[in-house]
Amino acid sequence: MAVTMVPSADLRPETLPTARLSVTGRPAPELRADLRRIAGFRNVLTVAGAWAQVAAVVGGAVWLDTWWGWIVAFALMARSFALLAILAHEAAHRMLFNGRRSNDLVGRWLLAYPAFIPFDQYRRVHMAHHRDEMGPDEPDLGLYAGYPISRASLRRKLGRDAVGISGWKNLRPLLVALTRPSSRRVAVSIVAVQLALAAALTLAGWPQLYLLVWLGPWLTGWRVNNRLRAIAEHGGMVRSPDRRATTHLVRQHLVARFWMVPYHTGWHLAHHVDAGIPWRNLPRLQAELAAAGWIPPGLAYPSYRALWRALANRPT
């Protein structure tokens, strides 16, 4: 039984560099300049669209006011946090808008803080992740290491996520940060945004909405969604200059893109090859890598379910 999930050497052929790609897969300067263009106005519409979807979930639940409508809304809000968090990730890379001030303003107050993310701290940690995936300073190593695991182990992890145990572990540091002068300013900002959301939902005539369709899904369904996506990105991979050994590749299907990996975040190998390319252009880089032979057809898992099965195939 393998102790990692790294693809075999025959699935990682040495086909680079080419005229268009460097030895690491990064695009040549002219191509890279094209791929790095930020579609600022379109991203305004994207952020507005994300919040419109959030409002539609809440409004739909209130309008239906049935037990099954509330269950559907609770489940869909896990996806809503994926929309906000992934766009916050884009802003953390400074790829949402060309202006640094507008990029960070929207990233903090409209995307990260509503999703309980301390934006600037997240940016520092995430950049460490990109500098040396799976290295000694990898901030998320505990989340990715040790795969494959048994099905029972994965069920336990997802069970802790589903009932809110993992969510509380993620919420508790925010409460602790409120007591510390060094972190209080950011913590107060996040709490202020949460109070504003609670007030808005209360004004809609449903004071329980904040717990039902915001905090509750964040503590539970979003934790499941986030773990499944994260392990599908790097679970069981290793430190290597070859990004095909640090990051999984999965074929993208409509349901997964809707539910778990919107905004092309499923093209995660391409993102790690060049973290300066905005989300809209990741499929183009992926196509370049495939055309160069660096991504052979057999490298990609056919679906996320296939990858999760492989991640949980170690005997108990």
Q: What is the pLDDT of residue 1?
A: 42
Q: What is the pLDDT of residues 249-259, one digit of tens each?
A: 999 999 999 99
The residue behind tokens 């679906």 is 303
Q: What is the pLDDT of residue 207?
A: 80
Q: What is the pLDDT of residue 314?
A: 87
pLDDT at 2 over 60: no
Which of 99-125 are b and which e, b meaning 16 or more Cβ less than 10 Å from the residue's Cβ?
A: eeeebbebbbbbbbbbbbbbbeebbee
Average pLDDT over residues 128-138: 91
- Asked whether the beta carbons of 246 and 134 are under 8 A apart, the reply is yes
Average pLDDT over residues 162-186: 95
Residue 161: which residues within 8 A CB-CB, separation 6 or more? 167, 220, 223, 224, 226, 227
- Domain boundaries along the sequence of the chain: 1-35+236-316, 37-131+164-219
> Computed from CA positions of residues 148, 154, 160, 163, in that sequence, does the dihedral angle turn out positive or negative?
positive
Q: What is the pLDDT of residues 210-262, one digit of tens each?
A: 999 999 999 999 999 999 999 999 999 999 999 999 999 999 999 999 999 99
pLDDT-based confidence at residue 167 (cuts at 50, 70, 90): very high
Average pLDDT over residues 46-54: 98
Q: What is the pLDDT of residue 11?
A: 96
- Mean of all residue pLDDT scores within the chain: 95
Q: What is the pLDDT of residues 67-106, one digit of tens each?
A: 999 999 999 999 999 999 999 999 999 999 999 999 999 9
- The share of the chain scoring above pLDDT 70, in percent, equals 99
> Computed from CA positions of residues 61, 64, 70, 75, in that sequence, does the dihedral angle turn out positive or negative?
negative
pLDDT-based confidence at residue 15 (cuts at 50, 70, 90): very high
pLDDT-based confidence at residue 44 (cuts at 50, 70, 90): very high
The residue behind tokens 């290597």 is 240
Q: What is the pLDDT of residue 137?
A: 87
Q: Tell me 8's DSSP state.
A: P
pLDDT-based confidence at residue 208 (cuts at 50, 70, 90): confident
Indicate the pTM of the whole model.
0.95
Query: From the CB of residue 133, how many other CB atoms can be counted at a distance below 10 Å?
Result: 23
Count the helix, strand and coil residues of the chain and give each as a percent rounded to the nearest 5. Answer: 65, 0, 35
